[in-house]
Structure 1
Amino acid sequence: MKLFEQMCEEKIRQAEQDGVFDNLPGKGKPLELQDLSQVPEELRAGYKILKNSGYLPEEVQLKKELVNLDDLIKACNDPDEKQDLKRQRNEKMLRFNQLMEKRSIKKTSAFKKYRNKIRQKFT
């Protein structure tokens, strides 16, 4: 194993000397560490992978859309457009509730533990 580690370190040193790392985003700036203390330890690796790939679970995407629709409804003055926005919101809320029921997220202990924090983020 030590030989493998030495080979890796040598490759990293060589890449550094060749300037491979010179154009990386954030070079010379401190790392932005994420606070994952609210995410259960067994879910953190998966959470980071999904987050770094830009993936949002459907229920999170729906919640964001619901918040946007709520803001649009509050700002809308046209009664017909407001009615259409409310219809869209109801459809998304129905889909969200179906997902929650289907996935039984409401019943898992991890969700119960963090439900209030999630609600605070979206309200």
Structure 2
Amino acid sequence: MSSIFDILAEQRIADAIKRGELDHLPGAGKPLVFDDEPFQSPEQRMANRILKNAGFVPQEVLLRREIASLRGQLADADSDQDRESLRRRMARLAATLAVMRRGEA
């Protein structure tokens, strides 16, 4: 249930949008970028930034990218044999990903 303050804030924002007061703000129309994780220590954020700048990509991300690529190939596969091979490869990658997740939990 919304409080009166939430309702008033939403109304004022809607009015400002109607008047065009928010049209020319810096970054308007661009996606928000959240580089830092708020629940990480400053040391962990720095380590992550160094790894990212060095081009490091976690294994989980690589597996997800490969699975997405295989899905695209599966849609374009011509033969049943190719589709089956792609499905088996995707299943192995998905199983590897699941094992990785269980190990981190």
TM bracket (short chain): 0.5 to 0.7
Matched, 1:72 2:70: no
Q: Distance in 1 between matches of 2:71 and 2:52?
A: 25
What's 1:15 paired with? none
**Stretches (4+) displaced over 6 A:** none
Matched, 1:83 2:84: yes
Any gaps of 5 or more consecutive residues in structure 1?
1-33, 105-123
Q: Distance in 1 between matches of 2:77 and 2:37?
A: 37
Q: TM-score, normalised by structure 1?
A: 0.52
Matched, 1:39 2:49: no
Q: Distance in 1 between matches of 2:74 and 2:48?
A: 32
Q: TM-score, normalised by structure 2?
A: 0.60
Counterpart secondary structure, 1:101: helix
What's 1:100 paired with? 101
What's 2:54 paired with? 53
Counterpart secondary structure, 1:81: helix
- Which letter does structure 1 place at the counterpart of 2:81? D
- Which letter does structure 2 place at the counterpart of 1:57? P
Q: How many residues align?
A: 71
Any gaps of 5 or more consecutive residues in structure 2?
1-31
1 or 2 for the larger relative contact order (CA 8 Å, sep ≥6)?
1
- Which letter does structure 1 place at the counterpart of 2:61? V
Could you tell me the percent identity over the aligned residues? Answer: 21
Q: Alignment RMSD, CA only?
A: 2.0
Query: Is the Cα–Cα contact under 8 Å of residues 36 and 44 in structure 1 kept in the other structure?
Result: no
Query: Is the Cα–Cα contact under 8 Å of residues 66 and 92 in structure 1 kept in the other structure?
Result: yes
- Structure 2 CA distance for partners of 1:87 and 1:79, relative to 1, 3 Å: same
CA distances 1:89-111 after superposition (whole Å, capped 9, x unpaired):
0000000000000011xxxxxxx
